[in-house]
């Protein structure tokens, strides 16, 4: 029998967007569901986020973006994570994401997209299932 450590999730606010209600709500929901949650605070660069992801040895990075800049930011994050060899860290994107951008985000390497209005139980269920590293 293997003992599983709790899933470690980094909730990150990249760029200049200052809307963090959703990020903090999701962070609390994941914590209540038994995850270990680290929240970056606002205004982080992609490099800072990757650095924290490495230091904290996280399984999941949850990006929260409400400014509309989700496509370039997600692209940069996935690229940097892979460059640093973090191939099995999954990236989940939340925020003000128009319907039509969902396939684009998935194509850029996001494992899931949870736009504003998503159900917390869906987010928790997804991370519980996919967040565990193999």
Partner 1 sequence: MAVKEPQLKDVILESGIEVKPIYRPEDIAHIDYERDIGEPGQYPFTRGIHKYMYRYRPWTMRQYAGFGTPYETNQRFRFLIDHGQNALNVAFDLPTQMGLDSDDPLAVGEVGRVGMAVDTLKDMEVAFQDIPIDRISVSLTVNAVTPIILAMYITVAEKQGVPRDRIRGTTQNDILKEYIGRGTWIFPVEPSIRLIGDTLEFCAREAPRYYPVSVCGYHIRESGSTPVQEIAYAYCIAKAYIDEVLSRGLSVDDFAGRISFNFDIFGNLWEQVAKFRAARRLWARIMKEEYGAQQPDTMKMKMIAGGGGSGLTIEEPENNIVRGAYYALIAALSGAQTSALCCYDEAYTIPSAKASLISLRTMQILAEEMGLCDTVDPLAGSYYIEWLTTEMEKRIVAEMRRVDEQWGGIVNAVSQGLVQQEVARQAYEYERKLQSGEIVKVGVNKYRVEGEEAPPEVELHEYRPEAMEEQRHRLAEVKRTRDALEVEAALADVRDACQSGRNVMPAMLRAVRAYCTLGEIIGVMKQVFGTFQEPVRL
Comparing CB distances to partner 1, the nearer of 1 and 16 is: 16
For residues 38 and 53, is the Cβ–Cβ distance under 8 A?
no
Separation CA 31–CA 61 (nearest Å): 14
Task: Select the residue interacting with partner 1 from 15, 62, 95, 131 (CB under 8 A).
Answer: 15
Using CB under 8 A as the binding rule, whether residue 82 contacts partner 1 is answered as no
With CB under 8 A, what is the number of residues at the site for partner 1? Answer: 35
Q: Annotate each residue in 31-70 with x if it binds partner 1 (CB under 8 A) or - if it does not, as one string.
A: x-----x-xxxxx-x---------------------xxx-
- Tell me the three state secondary structure of residue 27: helix
Using CB under 8 A as the binding rule, whether residue 73 contacts partner 1 is answered as yes
Task: Select the residue interacting with partner 1 from 52, 106, 120, 128 (CB under 8 A).
Answer: 120
The DSSP symbol for 44 reads B
**Interface contacts to partner 1, rule CB under 8 A:** 15-21, 24-25, 27-29, 31, 37, 39-43, 45, 67-69, 72-73, 96, 98-100, 115-117, 119-121
């Amino acid at each position: 029998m293997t003992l599983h450590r709790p899933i470690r999730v980094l909730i990150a606010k990249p760029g200049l967007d200052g809307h963090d209600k959703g990020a903090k709500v999701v962070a609390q929901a994941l914590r209540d569901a038994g995850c270990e949650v680290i929240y970056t605070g606002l205004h982080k660069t992609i490099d800072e986020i990757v650095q924290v992801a490495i230091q904290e040895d996280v399984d999941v990075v949850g990006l929260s973006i409400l400014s509309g800049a989700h496509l370039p930011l997600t692209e940069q994050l996935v690229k940097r994570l892979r460059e640093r060899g973090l191939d099995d860290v999954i990236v989940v994107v939340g925020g003000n994401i128009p319907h039509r951008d969902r396939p684009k985000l998935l194509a850029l390497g996001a494992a899931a997209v949870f736009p504003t209005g998503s159900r917390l139980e869906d987010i928790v269920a997804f991370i519980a299932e996919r967040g565990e590293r193999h």
